[in-house]
Structures are given as structure tokens and as C-alpha cells.
Amino acid sequence: MDVGAKLRSLLRLFFLAAVLMSVAVLSAITTIRLTIHGRQETLPNLVGMPIGEARRVVGALGLQLNVEDRLYSDKIPADAVVTQMPAAGTSIKAQQMVHVLLSLGPPKVSVPDLIGRSIRAAQITAVERGLTIGDVAGLYWSQGEPNQVVAQDPPPATTDLQSPAVNFLVSMGPEPPAYLCPDFKGKFIGVVQAELQQAGFQNIKVVSIQSPSVSAGTILQQNPPAGSKITPDTSLEFQVAQ
């Protein structure tokens, strides 16, 4: 498997996990709502129903309808319900929410090749082609400039779309060097701060506290603790005797 295929596979796994998590949360919310006392209604089948009609049917039952998203569909006409949650036949309390996905009709666009472009340029091009921006994830990537698209989903030239959203995996540049944090306790803050800044650490916070038994400027506590993995981007905090 080449590098591009591996990146696309990583991107798909990332966004599949996000979708599954969203569905799980939504299902949990629906389950909790169904436990509330009140009049029960049996939810009809809304799939294939135009959104206006679906709203009237749901409203007549004392329920509410929310459009979660829109998907391409070769089978369901535009602006009709593709899927619903809870499913048809479910008993649901009055005033509760019914979630639906609407059809965009059959796909009419071909996904452009956005790999290698800056994320901003890629997003502009996607929107100009009638697509929407999905999720954007970043990873350290030695072969890509910072903010450069290294993978996309759907892949370039895809026409059989289910969703108009394009998801991006973006380079954050080479991974910065990592170090094991030393034990600075008992050392003088002036010396430690100078050494850290020389090594590229700039996010340093010093908090002075009263400690009459210790020489002023002595480090009493540190965060992250000794042995932690740190990079030049890590924020370091020291409590120092006043």
C-alpha cells in the first residue's frame, strides 16, 4: 500500500470514528428522552417523504423535526427524507425530537484533486465546486509543508458521492524534537530559564510563592513533572521561592 493510500485509510478511520461517536451520543440522548413520562406516539415511516409533508406529519403527532444533514441519493429525490432517527414504529414521547437526513438528489459534481494545496485554497476550491467542508485533521508530516493537504476523502475524481462534504488531512510540518523533562526542583530559576530559552522553549511561566526557609529564586515545583515528554511548544510552569 502506497503512502497516499495509507493516509486516505487513516483519514477514513478517523472520520468513521467521529461519525460512530456522534451516532452513539444521539442514540443515548434519544433513549434518555424516551424515559420521560408523557403521551406516547408511534413514529411513522418518513423515508421518501418530502420535508414539508414530513414536518406536517410529525407536527400533527405533537413531535418536532430536525434536519441533521443532507446526503446525495440516487434513489430518494431532492428534499425528501433519506433516513430517520428514531426508526419507524418506535414509540416516542410527545414533544420529542425526530432527526432526519435529507436527500440532495443524485450527485452532480466530481471531487477535485486538492492534495498538495494549502488548506485554505483547498477549502475555497471545494466550495466553488458546490461541495462543503467536512472535518479537518492535522498530523506531523515530514514530507509536507505546514497547512498543506496530504490526503482527502472522498478521493479526487469521485463522482459517486453520498455526502457533499470533503474531509481533509493536513500537514503540521515535521514533528518537533521531543525531550524528557529534567528535574529542575532545587535549581535557580534564572539559570534554568536561560537554558530553556536557548534550547527553544519560550512558553515559560514563573509563579512566586512565600517560602522563608528556601533561598529566593529556588524552584520548588514544576509542571510538567520530571520525566514527562516535552517539545519546544510545551508550556512550562515553575513555582519559585520569593
Instruction: Report pLDDT digits (tens) over 192-208.
Output: 999 999 999 999 999 99
pLDDT score of 50 more than 90? yes
Per-residue confidence (pLDDT) for residue 170, from 0 to 100: 97
Indicate the pLDDT class of residue 167, thresholds 50, 70 and 90: very high
Q: Which of 17-21, 120-124, 158-162 has the lowest mean pLDDT?
A: 17-21
Per-residue confidence (pLDDT) for residue 144, from 0 to 100: 79
Distance CA(26)–CA(13), nearest Å, equals 20
List all residues 6 or more positions away from 90 whose beta carbon is below 8 Å from its beta carbon. 42, 43
Distance CA(200)–CA(156), nearest Å, equals 40
**Which of 65, 126, 127 has its CA nearest to residue 92?**
65
Instruction: Report pLDDT digits (tens) over 19-41.
Output: 556 655 555 565 555 454 557 88
Instruction: Write down the number of H helices and E strands in the chain.
Output: 4, 13
Instruction: Report pLDDT digits (tens) over 63-100.
Output: 999 999 888 888 899 999 999 999 999 998 888 999 99
Q: Which domains does the chain have, with CATH numbers?
A: 3-103 (3.30.10.20), 119-171 (3.30.10), 179-241 (3.30.10.20)
